[in-house]
Amino acid sequence: MNKIAITRKEHFNAAHRLHNKHWSKEKNEEVFGKCNNPNYHGHNYDLEVTVIGHINVDTGYVIDTKILSNIIKQKVLEPFDHKNLNLDVPLFKNKNPTVENIAVVIYDEIIKEISNDLELKIKLYETPRNFVEYPY
C-alpha cells in the first residue's frame, strides 16, 4: 500500500527580531532591514504539520489527529504563541528566529513525539506570500 499524508493546520502569533550579534548595527540593518527593529515586530504564522505513513489497519489512521493536535499544542502553540521568540523561547537563545529556523525547530520538537515509522513535513507561513517547507 502507498503512503498517505494527513495535515493539521494551526495558527500562532509571535514577535521576533532578526539580528546577528556578531555583526555591526549597520550590517544588521543592511541585511535584515525592518526585521532588525530593536523593539521587535510580529507575525501571524500559519502552520501546516503533515504526517506521512501507512494507514494502520486497526484504526484507519496514519496518526490520530487528536494526538497530533495535542503534540502541536504542547510543542509549538504553548511555547510560541503570543511570545517574543528572541526573549521568551529558550530554543532561540542562540538561533536567529528566521522563518527557516522556526520551521526547523518546530520539526525537531514534533519529530521526537511521533512514531519512528512516520515522516514529518512542516510548512510555515510567515506571511501569505512568504513560507518555508521543511524538510524539502
Catalytic residue among 78, 82, 100, 133: 82
Q: Is 126 a catalytic residue?
A: yes
Tell me whether residue 35 is one of the annotated catalytic residues: yes
Contact 121, 135 (CB under 8 A): yes
Spatial separation of the C-alpha atoms in residues 25 and 27, rounded to whole Å = 6
CB 103 within 8 A of CB 134: yes
C-alpha to C-alpha distance for 32 and 18, rounded to whole angstroms:
6
Q: Is 26 a catalytic residue?
A: no
Q: Find cell 521568551 and name the residue.
A: 88
Contact indicator for 51, 68 with CB cutoff of 8 Å: yes
Residue of 16, 19, 35, 43 marked active site: 35
According to DSSP H, which parts of the chain are helical? 25-32, 65-72, 78-80, 85-88, 99-111
- Catalytic residues, which ones? 35, 82, 126
